[in-house]
């Protein structure tokens, strides 16, 4: 039988790497999807997965069990992904070789994808987390409420407001491209 | 559009996959004739599609990342006994000596040494990434301006420290940048912003605050700081973006005033104002028309 999160936490506390390996295996795909929602890039999402679990291991002693372990890990992943976004400002700009540019229809999709990722990144933290968890993490309203530390009704409203803001930003950004 | 408010809670439940089939039919019928609600449902569909299109990572890639995490944990654990030994030597030796030599020795020295380390770290940090990767995190920061160009800094970093520094000191810049980047209190962020005004090197941190800070007051303060740097295209771009899409009309109005007073290309300003046809835009349109009438 699979050990519960609490059992794993206890084992990790007594120094078991095997237990931490199991815990990572349990949540790594969720962390990856959350990270992808923030970064829009598979390699960056994998970097965030790595950083997230390092933080989880460091801070596990301070996890008081007030929410679920899953929502605690999701919040750490969201913070790490945001830090990654900030750090990526400093990346050097690549000079493009026109011959390597993708075909027009693919480029349009790529631009739409980037616009979506940028607009999500421009949302406030609560709205951003709700949108990422709902669509990229494919989480239920209950789980979103856990991660936001609020009621399900409030989580539904945060999701709605987030979507409304996102639509406003996407519309503005599409019109600026015309 | 008139009865959109009635559909708001239905959309909320629809987004949460919690709306009964009858409600879904009613909502879809409304959305077919309503641009606002139809647009929201379309975006919901696009996002669901984006979620489904996330490339699944290979197990091998994830396994490699897990191995790296476990290796890093192992390394950390291996260093710990050495750190304990150093700690024990650092604490026990002065204590033992203190018994013999008196009480002064253990009390002196750690503050200046730590301050030296902070100075060295701050001086070696070149950009925001370095600041974020810094092993030192400052909290409970307070600043006060002294005579000349000096600043009194008071903060916690592993221990509580107080220092008087030149306003141009790398340490002051480091602490200011961290206050703007990290989740400090609004008061601390505003105070940091007032000091950042004097330092063009903190421009990236101020731009970050303008784009991302949750507090309208901090974003307004960032606009004030950046007004003097509108010759820089990145600053102009950030201000145009604030004019176009900041959630606060107040911030958008302030961005409009700043851009207009610095004679930024009127077409860019007009396009940004007209980009967002929603509540609050009227105030911007009126002000823009007033500014355009000015000689």
The Cα–Cα gap between B206 and B203 comes to 5
For chain A, residues classed under CATH 1.10.10.10 are 102-173
The Cα–Cα gap between A11 and A9 comes to 5
Q: Which of residues 105-134 of B touch A (CB under 8 A)?
A: 127-129, 132-133
- CB contact under 8 Å between B66 and A53, yes or no, is yes
Residue A31 pLDDT exceeds 90: yes
Work out the number of other CB atoms within 10 angstroms of the CB of residue B124.
10
Q: What is the pLDDT of residues A102-157, one digit of tens each?
A: 444 444 555 666 778 888 888 888 899 999 999 998 888 999 998 888 899 999 99
What's the pLDDT score for residue B159?
Answer: 65
Confidence of residue B224 (pLDDT cuts 50, 70, 90): confident
- CB contact under 8 Å between A135 and B50, yes or no, is yes
The Cα–Cα gap between A177 and A165 comes to 19
- Class at the top of the CATH hierarchy for domain A102-173: mainly alpha
Q: What is the pLDDT of residues B2-36, one digit of tens each?
A: 577 778 888 988 988 888 999 999 999 999 989 88
Q: Which 3-state string (H, E, C) describes chain A? A: CCCCHHHHHHHHHCCCHHHHHHHHHHHHHHHHHHHHHHHCCHHHHHHHHHHHHHHHHHHHHHCCCCCCHHHHHHHHHHHHHHHHHHHHCCCCCCCCCHHHCCCHHHHHHHHHHHHHHHHHHHCCHHHHHHHHHHHHCCCCHHHHHHHHCCCHHHHHHHHHHHHHHHHHHHHHHHHHHC
Q: Which residue of A has its CA nearest to B52?
A: A136
Confidence of residue B105 (pLDDT cuts 50, 70, 90): very low
B18, B43, B54: residue with CB nearest A166: B43
CA dihedral B151, B154, B156, B157 (to 10 degrees): 30
Q: Which of residues 48-67 of B touch A (CB under 8 A)?
A: 48, 50-51, 54-57, 61-62, 65-66
What's the pLDDT score for residue B107?
Answer: 41
Give the closest residue to B208 by CA, choosing from B191, B228, B222, B224. Answer: B222
Q: Which residue of A has its CA nearest to B245?
A: A169
Length of chain B, in residues:
295
Q: What single DSSP character describes residue B141? A: E
Q: Mean pLDDT throughout B214-243?
A: 85
**Strand extents, DSSP E, chain B:** 139-145, 150-157, 159-166
Q: Does the model's ipTM exceed the 0.85 cut? A: no
Give the closest residue to A77 by CA, choosing from A98, A54, A94. Answer: A54
Which of A42-51, A67-76, A128-137, B275-284 has the lowest average pLDDT?
B275-284
Q: Are the C-beta atoms of B210 and B219 separated by less than 8 Å?
A: yes
Q: Pull the structure tokens for residue B1.
A: 């559009």
Burial class for A151, CB neighbours closer than 10 Å (0-12, 13-18, 19+): exposed
Which residue did the predictor score with more confidence, A9 or B121? A9
For chain A, residues classed under CATH 1.10.1740.10 are 1-91
What's the pLDDT score for residue A132?
Answer: 92
- CB contact under 8 Å between B57 and A163, yes or no, is no
DSSP B77-122: HHHHHHHHHHHHHHHHHHHHHHHHH-SHHHHSSHHHHHHHHHHHHH
Q: Mean pLDDT throughout B165-186?
A: 74
Q: Which residue of A has its CA nearest to B273?
A: A172
- CB contact under 8 Å between A116 and B73, yes or no, is no
Give the closest residue to B169 by CA, choosing from B137, B146, B140, B139. Answer: B146
Residue B67 pLDDT exceeds 50: yes
CA dihedral A160, A163, A165, A167 (to 10 degrees): -140
Which of A84-88, B88-92, B216-220, B256-260 has the lowest average pLDDT?
B88-92
Q: What single DSSP character describes residue B279? A: T
Min Cα–Cα distance to chain A from B154, Å: 26
Q: What is the CA radius of gyration of chain B?
A: 27
The Cα–Cα gap between B70 and B68 comes to 5
What's the pLDDT score for residue A172?
Answer: 78
Q: Mean pLDDT throughout A67-76?
A: 90
Q: Which residue of B has its CA nearest to A21?
A: B66
Domain A1-91 of CATH type 3.40.640.10? no
What's the pLDDT score for residue B111?
Answer: 57
Which residue did the predictor score with more confidence, B173 or B32? B32
Q: Which residues pair with B144 in a beta bridge?
A: B152
């Amino acid at each position: 039988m699979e050990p519960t999160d609490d059992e794993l936490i206890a084992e990790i506390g007594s120094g078991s790497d095997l237990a931490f390996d199991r815990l990572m295996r349990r949540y790594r795909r969720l962390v990856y999807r959350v990270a992808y929602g923030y970064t829009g890039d598979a390699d960056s999402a994998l970097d965030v997965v790595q950083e997230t679990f390092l933080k989880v291991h460091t801070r596990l002693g301070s996890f008081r069990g007030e929410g679920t372990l899953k929502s605690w890990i999701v919040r750490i992943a969201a913070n790490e992904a945001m830090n990654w976004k900030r750090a990526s400002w400093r990346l050097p700009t690549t000079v493009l070789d026109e011959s390597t540019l993708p075909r027009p229809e693919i480029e349009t999709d790529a631009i739409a994808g980037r616009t979506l990722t940028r607009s999500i990144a421009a949302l406030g933290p609560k709205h951003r987390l709700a949108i990422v968890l709902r669509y990229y993490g494919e989480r239920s309203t209950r789980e979103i409420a856990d991660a936001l530390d609020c009621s399900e009704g409030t989580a539904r409203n945060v999701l709605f407001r987030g979507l409304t803001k996102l639509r406003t930003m996407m519309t503005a950004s599409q019109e600026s491209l015309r | 559009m008139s009865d959109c408010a009635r559909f708001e809670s239905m959309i909320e439940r629809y987004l949460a996959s919690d709306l009964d089939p009858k409600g879904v039919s009613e909502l879809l019928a409304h959305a077919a004739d309503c641009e606002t609600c139809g647009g929201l449902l379309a975006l919901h569909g696009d996002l669901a599609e984006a979620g489904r299109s996330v490339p699944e990572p290979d197990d091998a890639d994830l396994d490699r990342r897990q191995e790296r995490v476990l290796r890093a944990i192992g390394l950390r654990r291996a260093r710990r006994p050495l750190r304990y030994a150093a700690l024990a030597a650092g604490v026990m030796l002065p204590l033992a000596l203190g018994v013999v030599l008196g009480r002064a020795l253990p009390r002196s020295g750690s503050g200046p040494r730590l301050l030296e380390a902070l100075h060295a770290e701050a001086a070696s940090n070149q950009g925001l990434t370095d600041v974020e990767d810094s092993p030192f995190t400052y909290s409970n920061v307070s600043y006060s301006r002294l005579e000349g160009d000096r600043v009194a800094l008071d903060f916690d970093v592993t221990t509580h420290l107080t220092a008087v520094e030149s306003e141009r000191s790398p340490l002051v810049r480091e602490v200011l940048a961290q206050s703007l980047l990290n989740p400090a209190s609004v008061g601390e962020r505003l105070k940091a912003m007032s000091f950042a005004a004097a330092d063009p090197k903190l421009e990236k941190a101020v731009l970050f605050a303008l784009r991302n800070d949750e507090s309208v007051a901090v974003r307004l303060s960032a606009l004030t700081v950046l007004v003097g740097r509108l010759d820089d295209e990145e600053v102009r771009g950030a201000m145009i973006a604030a004019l176009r899409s900041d959630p606060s009309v107040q911030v958008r109005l302030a961005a409009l005033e700043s851009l207009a007073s610095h004679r930024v290309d009127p077409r860019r300003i007009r396009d940004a104002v007209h980009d967002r046809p929603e509540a609050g835009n009227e105030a911007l349109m009126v002000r823009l028309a007033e500014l355009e009438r000015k000689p």
